[in-house]
Structure formats: structure tokens, C-alpha cells
Amino acid sequence: MSRNGEKFNPAALPADVMKGFEHDEKPTSAPKHFLYPGQLFVSREPALITTILGSCAALCLWDKRKKVGGMNHYLLPEGTDNGPNRLRYGNVANPALLNELLALGCKIEDLQAKLFGGSSAFSANPSQSVGTRNSELAEEFLRDVGIRLVAKDVMGKRGRKLIFHTEDGVTLIRDFAEPPTA
């Protein structure tokens, strides 16, 4: 929150601040893919997947043996599993991501997970926020299917840019920090 009592809105950041988030941080010749809410992307070939997260969550799964990875970006924890926007819901997007990797020959015991997002910047009660529920849903899913969570950067009151390199499972996070007030 800023000193004048207004809530921080990452969408209102000036263009010069946003330009700092355009760099991949790690040189790569791999194709780049940007995920919008309600999408997932899995690649057998090396790829760089990026997204911007607020209360949304992104689950990255990576097979350490096959060097295959994928990521989803979901908006809400639960919803219907049919229709054109079904991947907006974590209860659909997380199993869908796993199924895509299993279809490429990955095995659950070779997968590791990283979880990001789930901010509650505009919630009066962070423990009941959509972001918190998105994060908790992903962790419960991973426990249920037996995939080890090796890293997470969730909740809090800030947005994030996530960069996932599928060739080595490396993830990079850039925080959207509240700009200083004059």
C-alpha cells in the first residue's frame, strides 16, 4: 500500500518500469512461449515459458530424466471441467498439465514441481483470498499425486513475472515491487 492510502495496482506501473521485466535473464536460443490465464504449455524440446502472476497460480512440472517440462497458469481454484475456459481452474489445469507430461512418456517419480503466484494484494483477509486458495489447491494436488515440490514463491502482496526454462527446469522470478511514492 502506498503512503496516501491507495492500494498498489501492478497494472498501473509505468512503461519504463515494465521494460525491466522484458529480459529473459538467461541467454537461450529456445523458442519462447507466453502463457495467459487459462493456458498451459508442455514441450518435449527446450522452450522458455513466461507469464505474469498476481492472484493466479502457475505450476511448473519438470522431468529430470527426460528433460521435459511444462507449465500452467490458472485464475481460480475450482470450476467446471468442461467448456472452452476450463483451464482457468486449478482443479482442471493441474491434472491437465500432468496428463500432458505423462502423454510424453514422463513418469510421476521423475517429476518435480515448482509453484508460483497466489498473491493477495487486494484482499482484506489473505488467508481467505483467491490467491491463497490457488496456492493451497496446487500443493494439495501435488501431495495427492506424489510429486515433490522443490520450490515455491507464493502468496504475499506482490505480482511476479515467472520465467521457466524447460531444458533444465530453472525458474526465475522478478517481483513487481511497489514503486516509491514521491
What pLDDT tens digit does each residue of the chain (182 aa) get? 333 444 444 455 555 555 555 554 556 688 999 999 999 999 999 999 999 999 999 999 999 999 999 999 999 999 999 988 999 999 999 999 999 999 999 999 999 999 999 998 666 676 788 999 999 999 999 999 999 999 999 998 889 999 999 999 999 999 876 544 55
Q: Does the CA dihedral 162-138-73-166 come out positive or negative?
A: positive
Return the pLDDT at 16: 57
Q: Which amino acid is at 167?
A: E
The DSSP output letter for 65 is T
Residue 51 near residue 35, CB atoms below 8 Å: yes
Could you tell me the CA-to-CA distances from 71 to 26, 91, 113 in Å, in that order?
18, 15, 10
Q: Which fold has domain 32-176?
A: 60s Ribosomal Protein L30; Chain: A; (3.30.1330)
SS3 state of residue 57? strand
Spans of all domains in the chain: 32-176
Terminal-to-terminal C-alpha distance of the chain: 14
- pTM of whole model > 0.75? yes
Which pLDDT does position 179 carry in this prediction? 47
156 neighbors 8 (Cβ within 8 angstroms): no
Task: Give me the count of residues in the chain.
Answer: 182
